[in-house]
Amino acid sequence: MPDRDWYDDSEYHDAVQRAERSARFGWAMIAGTVGGLGCALLTLVSLAVVAAVACMYAVVAMDY
């Protein structure tokens, strides 16, 4: 007979540790994805602002 008592919960602790590790990995992936999308959005907005300023400069320069 195995030498394990009814209150041995080592399998439970192993499962909890695996779940915590998976949760940390999941949150890290979510944070990385949101951060990457935020950087892409900032880049897109800044390029749009530069394009708008360049167009306004071209329009103003045509008047002279």
Q: How far apart are CA 47 and CA 36, in angstroms?
A: 17
**pLDDT tens digit string along 12-61?**
899 999 999 999 999 999 999 999 999 999 999 999 999 999 999 999 99
Q: How far apart are CA 64 and CA 19, in angstroms?
A: 68
> Bigger pLDDT: 15 or 8?
15
